[in-house]
Amino acid sequence: MDENRQNPLFTPQHHEQPPFYPAPARKPKRLAVLVSAAAVAAALVGGAGGAALVGLADDAPASTGTSALGTATGQTVANSGSDVSSVAQQVLPSVVQVNVTTREGEAIGSGVILSSDGKILTNAHVVEGASGDVTITLSDGTKYQASVLGADSKADIAVLQAKNASGLTAAKLGDSSQVRVGSEVVAIGSPGGLQNTVTSGIVSAVGRNLSDLGQQEQQQSPFGRTSTQQQQGPSYTAIQTDASINHGNSGGPLVNANGEVIGINTAIYSPSSGGSIGIGFAIPINDAVKIVEQLEQG
């Protein structure tokens, strides 16, 4: 699935990648389009204020033996206010790593446990193109096979169901309409396949309309083709955070100081390096829940 996108803020050069990277890590030597062109301009259904994923992903190595799949002891980056370690201890059991096999290779993302019997919330682009079941790994290393119950690529939300699961720790969901700029937040996921990684920061902005960044200059597609076709920027509104988010965090939670999930990490803005520069975006959890309900209804 090709997606050609333009951005007036940058003058692309040969092999330059678009500045948005909303993707799980994948095997080297391959680039993958992670959203459709329709997703770039789509809005969430049900008065959610508009949501669409914003871009493409640079490849990164899949999980290796250093991925810390044992106990929930991830990297904790302290901030000056709330006790990040206590928040991490509370939330880590509700976060999973998602491993996906596609025809193109392997993909890694994150997910949030919604129910004790194994309903999992993640990004649609994490499981896009999955060949059969996906594998989810709990924070303690326990693995389950899971099926994709439904996915909405426009909203970038998917629901998984772990098979034969019971007794899982469901995440506590917050109210994203109450999120305020400057509030401390924690991001948890599997960047680069490093499961149980915890980072912290603040809410940098709310209701961030990513179409404000614009797309007009020629950009190279991930398959070596270019296009000068102008496309509308996404009507996606997101929570912006400076908590470090990288490839593999997609689908994982952004939580507040009370350990409540207020967003689903989905994209980073990185005009040059492809890594985090302190600008990340999360789908507000209120919007995500609406999409989950629609997917469950068929």
The span from the CA of 63 to the CA of 195, in Å, is 9
In single-letter form, the type of residue at position 221 comes to S
| Identified catalytic residue from 94, 110, 125, 211 | 125
Known active-site residue 156? yes
Q: For the chain, which residues make up each domain, given as ranges?
A: 20-298
| Identified catalytic residue from 58, 156, 242, 287 | 156
Known active-site residue 250? yes
Tokens 């997910």 belong to residue: 111
Q: What is the pLDDT along the chain (298 residues), one digit of tens a residue?
A: 443 434 333 333 333 344 555 544 444 333 232 332 223 322 222 222 222 233 333 333 333 332 222 233 344 333 445 689 999 999 999 999 999 999 999 999 999 999 999 999 999 999 999 999 999 999 999 999 999 999 998 899 999 999 999 999 999 999 999 999 999 999 999 999 999 999 999 999 999 987 665 443 333 322 233 333 334 434 458 999 999 999 999 999 999 999 999 999 999 887 776 677 889 999 999 999 999 999 998 7
**CATH T-level fold of 20-298:** Thrombin, subunit H (2.40.10)
In single-letter form, the type of residue at position 216 comes to Q
Spatial contact of 159 and 151, defined as CB atoms under 8 Å apart: yes
> Is pTM, for the whole model, over 0.95?
no
Known active-site residue 125? yes
Spatial contact of 8 and 214, defined as CB atoms under 8 Å apart: yes
| Identified catalytic residue from 250, 270, 276, 287 | 250
